[in-house]
Structure 1
Amino acid sequence: MAGKIVVLGTGGTIAGTSDVPGASVGYTAGQLGIAQLLAAVPQLAQAARGPLVAEQLAQVDSKDMTHALWERLVQRCLVHLADETVAGIVITHGTDTLEETAWLLHNLLPTHKPVVLTSAMRPATALAPDGPQNLLDAVALAAEPDAHGVLAVAAGVVHGAREVAKMHPLRLDAFASGDGGPLGWMDAGPVRWAHARAPEASVPRHGGLAARLGQLAWPRVQIVLSHAGADGSVVDALVTAGVVDGLVAAATGNGTLHQELEQALTRAAAAGVAVCVASRCPQGRMLALPPDAPWSSAPGLSPVKARVSLMLQLMDR
């Protein structure tokens, strides 16, 4: 018998409902349990190639994702990944912060088995919900023998944790992978990998930190935006109040910063605050900063993913 697929439910639009029959907007996320979602898609049993197990971790709108839930999610993934009877994991998640959770898990979890995040742009009560097909694709992907590591699938497209980003507030194909492109596609059956084979597995950068998450405090890392007319008042206020351990600057272009903001970040770095710069441009990759730069950079990462990386770095030092 093939290994079992574990489906961890966290809520999101995929579990959302509306009081207006058939409505695609104006709904409340995280209303249906994961067992209800699975029962609504009878084809899942065949796609799983083995037993299918459901576990409800939370019922939240992912805009309200917390560090505590991240800890719980990592802990449960570690338990199931260590179970020899488990072939893969599927996580149902809201779209708003899916890319942040995916990047967190990518940096922490072992990669010998697939961990697949999926979601929906329409609630379960919509006239034509997209959640059932996304869930079916996620289970099929998690059951693929050559799949591994943290992946995301929606609208039939398979994305990697580093590249995936929500690019549209309403479309069903809201996610994209920028210049890197998708890893593959779910074409009514087995995954079709973009380069005819599954991508190589990578070693999690902070794998040793995963088991210690519950013992450590999460660093307070905020994102500040560089824009026309920017100043350093927010940065100075955060540093003076002593409520920040790290700052990610969402920079213009190739990591450029308004001079007023740059001066404030220089003061913050001198005060012991960790500073990282990431481009706010949704595509491309900013060049790495020179070795003598006063702060680090995050080439290829969005500001929200750079924040996740900076938090993990501060926890793991």
Structure 2
Amino acid sequence: MVVILGTGGTIAGTAADASDNVGYQAAQLGVAQLIAAIPPLARRALEAEQVVQLDSKDMDFATWRLLAERVAAHLARPEVAGVVITHGTDTLEETAYFLQRVLAPGKPVVITAAMRPATALQTDGPQNLLDAVTLAAEGRVPGVLVMFAGSIHSAEQVRKVHSYRVDAFASADGARLGAMEEGGVRWFAAGPQRGAQPVVGLAHLPQGDLSWPRVQIVLNHVGADGSVVQALLAQGVDGLVVAGTGNGSLSHALEAALREAQQQGVRVLRSTRCDAGLVTASAEALPSAGALSPVKARIELLLDLLSSPVPR
């Protein structure tokens, strides 16, 4: 059996005009309606649950916790082979990474979405959802996976790389795990391994949004100074992720401000605004986020702060 959890997004969106792929309202259809629109799913052993109904640009910590709890509850059932989550594309990569780091599931958790609403002339949601169910039912690779436009990505590597194309996701450094080909899975590489441990368990996740650590992202660019960092320090912040240029390089002024933040007890991670490649670590530089994108480095820092809070 596969359980499908609905959270809204473009895959559940509708527009007044079938030719309109951008002027739609996200999160209008329930997950049961999405399933009913795909005849091959009638032959599958499925359960559906509407967890939330939102546009993923509005994803929040409380929803993350709720979603993680529902995924864990269903995965604990022996008859469940895997879980599929329908999601919006805007923050999909963040939710995927969060669930992988919090749950490290021993069964497949497959997140899918769409770039076009359900009412579009050539909507991509039904095929993506069918492929996601097929992947979850196969059960070969555990962990959080993303099934989108025929490609299978890991939570660690997936990134949204295009604003409107139907093949909007890619894996950093070309590390695609596999592909769905005419209803069958072809694997290129191994996915997450069974037995991996979550970095923070569900019990340690705060109940409300205001109880989570305050972690913000800043950007290096031409003329970058320390004013944004100083403003964030004045507001109160627990962690900062900096999206550096190239190999995590920073202007002198921005780096000085970040080192001042460190001295005040703020945790800092150095990432890159490049689409791929890692930030090399060195004893002289600010701590590296490795190959994590800025948004995933933020999640890593959030969870690290939950497991070892900064004394303030």
TM-score bracket relative to the smaller structure? over 0.9
- Paired residues of 2:114 and 2:124 also in contact (CA < 8 A): yes
Cα distance, 1:58–1:112 mapped onto 2, change above 3 Å: same
Match of 2:53 among 51, 59, 65: 59
TM-score by length of 1: 0.93
- Structural RMSD (CA): 1.5
- Paired residues of 2:204 and 2:306 also in contact (CA < 8 A): no
Q: CA deviation at 1:202?
A: 6.0
The code of the aligned residue for 1:86 comes to V
After superposition, the C-alpha distances for 1:95-139 in whole angstroms (9 at most, x for unaligned) are 010000000011011331000000000000001100000000000
1:27 and 2:24 correspond:
yes
In structure 2, how many angstroms separate the alpha carbons of the residues matched to 1:200 and 1:209? 18
In structure 2, how many angstroms separate the alpha carbons of the residues matched to 1:148 and 1:62? 24
- Paired residues of 1:158 and 1:185 also in contact (CA < 8 A): yes
Match of 1:185 in 2: 179
Match of 2:281 in 1: 288
The code of the aligned residue for 2:257 comes to A
For residues 138-149 of structure 1, what are the structure 2 equivalents within 5 Å? 138-149=132-143
The code of the aligned residue for 1:80 comes to H
Structure 2 unaligned segments of length 5 or more: list them: none
Q: CA deviation at 1:234?
A: 1.1
- Paired residues of 2:143 and 2:193 also in contact (CA < 8 A): no
Bigger shift: residues 64-73 or 13-22: 13-22
Q: How many residues align?
A: 306
Match of 1:115 in 2: 109
1:210 and 2:210 correspond:
no
SS of the residue corresponding to residue 64 of structure 2 reads helix
Q: Alignment identity in percent?
A: 56
SS of the residue corresponding to residue 16 of structure 2 reads coil
Q: CA deviation at 1:247?
A: 0.4
The code of the aligned residue for 2:204 comes to R
- Paired residues of 1:115 and 1:142 also in contact (CA < 8 A): yes
For residues 220-299 of structure 1, what are the structure 2 equivalents within 5 Å? 220-242=214-236, 244-290=237-283, 293=285, 295-299=286-290
TM-score by length of 2: 0.94
1:303 and 2:297 correspond:
no
In structure 1, how many angstroms separate the alpha carbons of the residues matched to 2:52 and 2:256? 42
Match of 1:315 in 2: 306
SS of the residue corresponding to residue 39 of structure 2 reads coil
After superposition, the C-alpha distances for 1:62-88 in whole angstroms (9 at most, x for unaligned) are 111100100100110111111112110
SS of the residue corresponding to residue 23 of structure 1 reads coil
In structure 1, how many angstroms separate the alpha carbons of the residues matched to 2:282 and 2:60? 31
The code of the aligned residue for 1:210 comes to L
The code of the aligned residue for 2:205 comes to L
The code of the aligned residue for 1:28 comes to Q
Match of 1:129 among 123, 128, 133: 123
Structure 1 unaligned segments of length 5 or more: list them: none
In structure 2, how many angstroms separate the alpha carbons of the residues matched to 1:61 and 1:110? 25
1:164 and 2:154 correspond:
no
